[in-house]
Amino acid sequence: MLKKLFTNKDSTNSMVGVDLGVATIKIVELKNENKKPTLVTYGVSSGDRQATKEIHQNISPDLIYLMQQARTTTTNVVGALPTSSVFSTIIDFPKMPTKEIDSAIKWEARKLIPLPLEKMSLHWHILPTVGKTKDDDSIKVILSAAPTETTTKYLKIFKAANLSLLSLETEIKALQRSLLTPTDKTSLIIDIGANNTNMIIYDNNLPLLNKNIDIGGETLTSHIAKTININFERAAQLKKQLGMSTFDQASHPAVKAMKFAIDNIIIRDIKHLITVLGNSTQNKINNIILTGGGAHLKNLDKYLENELKINTRVGDPWHKISYPKELKSELGKIGTKMSVAIGLALKVVEK
């Protein structure tokens, strides 16, 4: 039997999305008011923790403290496994009874996943029939797999925090919920974290391709510091001040250092994904959506749009959420950091 990431049945009208980042924790509590997601509270940890490659096992006390400070009203939470830890793919099957899909997926998974299935936690669901013709008798199933060791680690974190974990999902699904609109056709979401950047291509809101690369906001700062021989704090100041300057300061050594990293890693990999997409589906990316803590790098959206000739915007994960107007400015400042947490909490309206 395939082991699923989903752990408990949802029986609450309010839930907290928890994004356990490597540098900060982000939480958002939403409640369901007549199928309208409404903000209850939110919180972001201080960011005193040094960014690492993996989440710390002893993070539970920090999570407890943050939820207390945010005054969350429920212990029901939805968590996310990092994209870098999750294998995800879409499999085409001929139409078959639902009870037979489990066995079919297990058979395909053994061919696709490089690790023994006994060491993996698997989750799958049938994708909606978007744009199918009457003669198309196939079904599409999205399969996600994560090492059991990783899922166990996350389960222990939430258990130690005395939280009721309703579901462990992928960041890919969370970002789809919070950032995409019905008018977004073939879209590329670029989630820039502290040490990693996730790139996910969606077609009609369904994930097609994804790639994780080892560069993020803090690694970009470190590259500036190393390139022009300054300390990390000064490099962070220059990064924030200058951004991707396109005019009089474009020749500044810090800007050149950022441009080198972005051109030779981020843009290179975007072009690779575009090529793979075109070869496999003949589709073209219609828009790029930036999110994550690094999305607010000054002029990054304009720079990518100019280099790639694709409409680019900074995502607004609050666009589906009802909240007091007086919070608009503050929520806008932290929005891109909260995309995963918001997407997780939006599960409250998917009953």
* Model confidence pLDDT, tens digit, residues 33-45: 988 999 999 999 9
Residue 129 in domain = no
Pick the more confident residue, 281 or 81: 81
Work out the pLDDT band at 135, boundaries 50, 70, 90.
Answer: low
269 and 216 in a common domain: yes
268 and 296 in a common domain: yes
Which CATH number covers residue 215?
Answer: 3.30.420.40
Average pLDDT over residues 86-98: 82
278 and 229 in a common domain: yes
Q: Residue 3: what pLDDT? A: 29
311 and 343 in a common domain: no
Residue 121 in domain = no
Work out the pLDDT band at 111, boundaries 50, 70, 90.
Answer: confident
The distance in angstroms from the start CA to the end CA of the chain is: 25
Q: Residue 146: what pLDDT? A: 87
The contacts of residue 151 (CB under 8 Å, 6+ apart) are 5, 81, 121, 168
31 and 61 in a common domain: yes
243 and 328 in a common domain: no
Closest alpha carbon to 341 in 117, 89, 20, 64: 20
Q: Residue 11: what pLDDT? A: 46
Q: Residue 4: what pLDDT? A: 32
Q: Are 300 and 245 in contact (CB under 8 A)?
A: no
Residue 175 in domain = yes
277 and 196 in a common domain: yes
226 and 333 in a common domain: no
List the structure tokens of 69: 């400070």
* Model confidence pLDDT, tens digit, residues 209-267: 888 998 999 999 999 999 999 999 999 999 999 999 776 678 899 999 999 999 999 99
**Structurally, how many domains does the chain consist of?**
2
75 and 159 in a common domain: yes
165 and 26 in a common domain: yes
Average pLDDT over residues 146-167: 92
Residue 306 in domain = yes
Work out the pLDDT band at 315, boundaries 50, 70, 90.
Answer: very high
DSSP helix/strand/coil, 136: coil
Q: Residue 52: what pLDDT? A: 52
Q: Are 216 and 196 in contact (CB under 8 A)?
A: yes
351 and 262 in a common domain: no
Residue 115 in domain = no
User: Does 180 score more than 90 pLDDT?
Assistant: yes
**pLDDT above 70 as % of the chain:** 89
Residue 342 in domain = yes
Residue 341 in domain = yes
Residue 111 to residue 261: CA distance in whole angstroms: 35
Domain of residue 261 covers: 182-316
Residue 264 in domain = yes
186 and 276 in a common domain: yes
Q: Residue 329: what pLDDT? A: 95
Q: Are 180 and 245 in contact (CB under 8 A)?
A: no
Chain centroid to CA 280: how far? 24
**pLDDT above 90 as % of the chain:** 58
Average pLDDT over residues 191-208: 89
